[in-house]
Amino acid sequence: MNEGRVSGTLLLVNPSCDLHQDIIRDVEQTGLTVIATSDPSEAVLLCERQAPDVVITDLSLCGEAGLTLIQALRRHGRTCPVIVVSEEPSGGMVAKAFQAGATECLQKPIVKEEFTRVLDRIGRWAGGTAVPVSGLLRFDQRFVLTCDLTSVEETVLWMIEATAMMVPDAVRMGLRGALQELLVNAVEHGNLEISSDEKKQAVANGRYEALVLERSAQPAFKERCVIVEVSCDTKARRLTYCIIDQGKGFDWRAMLERKPEGVGLMDGSGRGLLLVRSLFPDLSYNERGNEVMFTVPLG
Alpha-carbon torsion 273, 279, 284, 290, what sign? negative
- State the pairing for strand pair 33-37/9-13: parallel
Tens of pLDDT, residue by residue over 134-183, are 677 888 989 999 998 888 888 888 888 888 878 877 788 788 889 999 99
Please give the Cα distance from 82 to 96 (Å, whole number): 13
Specify the pLDDT at position 227: 94
For domain 138-297, give the CATH superfamily.
Histidine kinase-like ATPase, C-terminal domain (3.30.565.10)
Tell me what percent of the residues of the chain surpass a pLDDT of 90. 23
Q: 9-123 — its CATH code?
A: 3.40.50.2300
Burial class (CB in 10 A: 0-12, 13-18, 19+), 120: middle
Burial class (CB in 10 A: 0-12, 13-18, 19+), 55: buried
Position 4 confidence tier, pLDDT thresholds 50, 70, 90: very low
Specify the pLDDT at position 263: 45
Burial class (CB in 10 A: 0-12, 13-18, 19+), 294: buried
What is the phi/psi pair of residue 257, to 5°?
Answer: -80, -10
Specify the pLDDT at position 224: 93
Who has greater pLDDT, 164 or 77? 164
Q: Flag the least confident range among 87-96, 158-167, 186-195.
A: 87-96
Question: Is residue 107 over pLDDT 50?
Answer: yes
**Edge-to-edge, what's the strand order for the sheet holding 284-285?**
138-145, 226-233, 238-244, 291-297, 284-285
What is the phi/psi pair of residue 198, to 5°?
Answer: -65, -40
**Edge-to-edge, what's the strand order for the sheet holding 33-37?**
33-37, 9-13, 54-58, 82-86, 104-107
Please give the Cα distance from 196 to 201 (Å, whole number): 9
The amino acid that residue 66 corresponds to is G
Over residues 83-88, the mean pLDDT reads 80
Q: What is the DSSP letter of 246?
A: S
Specify the pLDDT at position 192: 95
Please give the Cα distance from 80 to 89 (Å, whole number): 21
Position 239 confidence tier, pLDDT thresholds 50, 70, 90: very high
Query: In sequence order, what are the beta bridge partners of 84?
Result: 57, 105
Question: Is residue 286 over pLDDT 90?
Answer: yes
Would you tell me the crossing angle of helices 169-185 and 152-163 to the nearest 10 degrees? Answer: 140
- Who's near 281: CB < 8 A, 6+ residues apart? none
Over residues 108-116, the mean pLDDT reads 76
Please give the Cα distance from 241 to 73 (Å, whole number): 28
- State the pairing for strand pair 291-297/284-285: antiparallel
Distance, C-alpha 72 to centroid of its chain: 21
What is the phi/psi pair of residue 134, to 5°?
Answer: -65, -30
Q: Flag the least confident range among 23-32, 119-128, 153-162.
A: 119-128
Where are the domains positioned within the chain? 9-123, 138-297
- State the pairing for strand pair 54-58/82-86: parallel
Specify the pLDDT at position 124: 56
Q: What is the DSSP letter of 150?
A: G
Tell me what percent of the residues of the chain surpass a pLDDT of 70. 81
Over residues 105-113, the mean pLDDT reads 77
- Who's near 209: CB < 8 A, 6+ residues apart? none
